[in-house]
Amino acid sequence: MHPTRRTMRRLAGALAVVAAVLAATATPALAAPAVAVTQSAPADDGVVRLSVTGAGFAATPPGIYVMFGREDAPISSQGAFQTAQYLPASSDTGARADGTFATTLEVRRAWTEGDGRETDCAVERCAVFTVKADGVPDRTQDTVTPIFLPALAATPVADLDPDEADIHTEGEGFDPAANGGNGFYVAFGPRGPNYHVDASRYQKVVQVTPNPVTPTMVKLQADGSFALDLAAVKAQYAVTARDGTVTEVDCTDEATPCQILTFAARGGAYRGFDTFTPVTFGGDLGPGPGPGPGPGTPAISVSPSSGLSPFGATTIAVTGSGFRPAEPGIYVAFGPAAGTTNAGAYQTTKWVHPGAAPSATQDVLSSTGTFSTTLTIGAAYTHGSGNRVDCTALACFVQTFAAHGSPDRTQDTAVAVGFAGAAPPAAGAPVAALAMSKLRIGARGRLRLVLTAPGRVTVKIARRVKGRAASGPASVAKRARTRWVRAKTIRFDVAQAGPVARTLRLRRGERYRIAVSVRGRDGAVVRAKPRVVRLRAAR
């Protein structure tokens, strides 16, 4: 018998009342659990700190586990995870009463699992997991948060040619979606405390991105891999930062070792891209840093530049273009190709800079990097150190270089000037065959030698240090206990043939191995046998 319409209406009304009562008294449902992870750059020992926060978790016993391991690892196998933390319910250190938590996991990119399986997160997907503790079969607390721990492989990275070397790099495990899809930089240079802030401080910088838009960018593949070459890497270089600061870098100096770095592009805060690969150089260095970056190619013209009278003074006109129109400006000088920034080594010097008031010692550098000035010069003079210079026998030039002792070599130019009675000397032509003699290194660190021609002197200094004793034969153990560590490299230019003296500023009481070489203007290099010297201890 079918129910009447009146009965159906009564039943529907009763059900509506019950539903209303249940809705009014029901406990609100918890939001779905969610986890966020912020990762640090890897420490020197390879440890990465994962700061893990969660919300929406049930604050009921027995709490949860927070774990790190392979993304495809079975939850029931704790041996498959690298690390795990137990967070008890409703505690300050665990899952709080409001369903939130915060903790830190210290992890490594690669490890051996409990069953002997080797796992590397650069080639396998890894993650942070949450799961209800003590095997409780409550899957509502399960979360999986992918973590990327990349790796960079580079070759070669040891004993590179300091004058120029090519390095091939390959990367795996980089997250294509991180940093807003902007990718990361692959850079070469020293790693400072703010290495990820300003990419202009590096010698080489290449952007790797999922969506390259210029020919200089490299594509990051969907699987997080890439490959690129860093070409013509040098041990010495000069760079100009965004603020105009010029820095000269020597990667052979133990105080500024260089690395291949990867870090988020465009100043990104994501540290999951960061890797650090040390690079070392070996062999003999060439003549020093080449030209660094600048707004143009500096160039000068000199008139007249030949046939000048060797007697009395001559005024010459110098014009230039392509110079950086910023303080401290440049010096325009006349003298031998000394390669020094000390204005006292030249016969005459004029400071050319944007804020100049034209005078006998200054002139204006325009906003477009051009200038026009004059110098009054003669064939012979005595420079600031008391040495006599004869430009009828020695190659002399009008030269420009960054003012006030700046190490910026991007502003260097030179034009040869010749005097009547002698052919205009060519740039780089030595006055005489280069030779070095009477090399002495005193017990107080004073270097003395004699040169037959101008040149650039390079002094490579290694310090003897004690290491850990090694097991095995006595001869092997003895070698392990002492070793030579590169301390620093000093370079300076000598404008005239004759005796040279230099204080090396070394620590008293230490033993050093010192190698001296000289490169002439024609590229010829002479070397002295390395000397071992022990400096006297301070009294």
State pLDDT tens for residues 474-502. Answer: 444 444 456 788 778 888 777 667 778 88
- The CB-side HSE value for 500 (13 A sphere, CA atoms) comes to 29
- pLDDT for the residue numbered 219: 95
Between 132-141, 228-237, 386-395, the lowest mean confidence (pLDDT) is in 386-395
CA atoms of 8 and 385, how far apart (whole Å): 116
Strands 348-353 and 362-364: parallel
Planar angle of CA 223, 229, 197, nearest 5 degrees: 80
Beta bridge partners of 276: 261
Average pLDDT of span 321-332: 86
- Sorted by sequence, the CB contacts under 8 Å of residue 527 that are 6+ apart come out as 284, 515, 516, 517, 518
Beta bridge partners of 492: 457
Q: How many CB atoms lie within 10 A of CB 245?
A: 13
* Structure token pair of residue 344: 């006292």
Residue 254 three-state SS: coil
Tokens of 358: 């034209």
Judge whether 371 and 398 are in contact, CB under 8 Å: no
Which residues neighbour 498 within 8 Å (Cβ) at sequence distance 6 or greater?
387, 450, 451
| Of 139-148, 190-199, 284-293, 443-452, highest mean pLDDT | 139-148
Under the banding of pLDDT at 50, 70 and 90, the label for residue 433 is low
Least confident of 3-7, 30-34, 138-142, 254-258: 3-7
**What local confidence, expressed as pLDDT, does residue 522 receive?**
55
Q: Is 403 exposed, middle or buried (0-12, 13-18, 19+ CB in 10 A)?
A: buried
In this prediction the pTM is 0.50
Q: Does residue 91 surpass a pLDDT of 50?
A: yes
Gap between the Cα atoms of 489 and 162, Å rounded: 12
pLDDT at 513 over 70: yes
- What local confidence, expressed as pLDDT, does residue 521 receive? 58
Beta bridge partners of 400: 332, 413
Mean pLDDT computed over every residue of the chain: 79
| Model confidence at 286: pLDDT above 80 | no
Q: How far apart are CA 314 and CA 300, in angstroms?
A: 18
- DSSP bridge pairs for 499: 450
Stretch among 141-150, 166-175, 420-429, 515-524 having the lowest mean pLDDT: 420-429
C-alpha 158/C-alpha 167 separation (Å) is 10
